[in-house]
Chains A and B, each alone.
Chain A
Amino acid sequence: TQLLEQSPQFLSIQEGENLTVYCNSSSVFSSLQWYRQEPGEGPVLLVTVVTGGEVKKLKRLTFQFGDARKDSSLHITAAQPGDTGLYLCAGAGGSGNTGKLIFGQGTTLQVKP
């Protein structure tokens, strides 16, 4: 069974700080997605990374896919209260999981003003 492990599970920081969330697996994925979920809502896609070593930026958020396509990271620069939420990584297309996304357990981020 493929697993994605996210760390840390909880993060509480002050506005303006930087942070990094990690998503690791022993399995190779053809692509990896990051979602953000706010209370009472469903997850919303932030980014998809496909190529090993790929880096994508979304304003203050930087996403990286590991060279071996087994891990990914999300870095937030100068976090703001609006970044508060649950961040989920999800892997697709790995061995034995055609047609489904495997989700990590999530990282709950709280940014205090």
Chain B
Amino acid sequence: DTAVSQTPKYLVTQMGNDKSIKCEQNLGHDTMYWYKQDSKKFLKIMFSYNNKELIINETVPNRFSPKSPDKAHLNLHINSLELGDSAVYFCASSRGLAGAIGELFFGEGSRLTVL
């Protein structure tokens, strides 16, 4: 069983469209994250949820809206896609509270290409 799974793995869409990426973890972790990896491989945190509560919200355009229906799921919805949104988006999870970062378990990534 995949520990952190995200879908879709590849997403190609036109500018202006709205798209969602879904993430699920079966590790029983309390905290989940969305990271964005750009073309230079730089990984930057976007959001973090702990037990369904938003705890980290970096400087991300409000076109990006995360939602956590339960602690095992964290979805990312993106409105009005722009060319600069093209990147690989990684979902991750960790055990415990936000102040004590342990190992991050990453999904395989969702490569978003905006044309």
Binding site for B on A (CB under 8 A): 31, 33, 35, 37, 40-45, 48, 86, 88, 90, 92-93, 98-101, 103, 105-106, 108
Contacts and interface: CB of A to CB of B under 8 A. Distances in A.
Interface residues of B, number: 27
Contacts of A86: 41
B104 interface: yes
A103 B48 contact: no
Contacts of B103: 33, 45, 48
A101 B41 contact: no
B106 A100 contact: no
> Which of A45, A90, A100, A105 has most B Cβ within 10 Å?
A100
B85 interface: no
B99 A98 contact: yes
B82 interface: no
B47 to A, nearest CB: 10
A93 B97 CA distance: 12
25 contacts: A40-B108, A42-B106, A42-B109, A43-B90, A43-B104, A43-B106, A44-B106, A45-B104, A48-B102, A90-B104, A92-B101, A93-B101, A99-B55, A99-B56, A99-B97, A99-B99, A99-B101, A100-B33, A100-B48, A100-B56, A101-B104, A103-B44, A105-B40, A105-B42, A106-B42
Question: Which 10 pairs across A and B sit closest by C-beta, in order of nearness?
Answer: A42-B106, A99-B98, A92-B101, A103-B43, A106-B41, A45-B103, A105-B42, A100-B45, A98-B99, A43-B106
A9 to B, nearest CB: 9
B66 interface: no
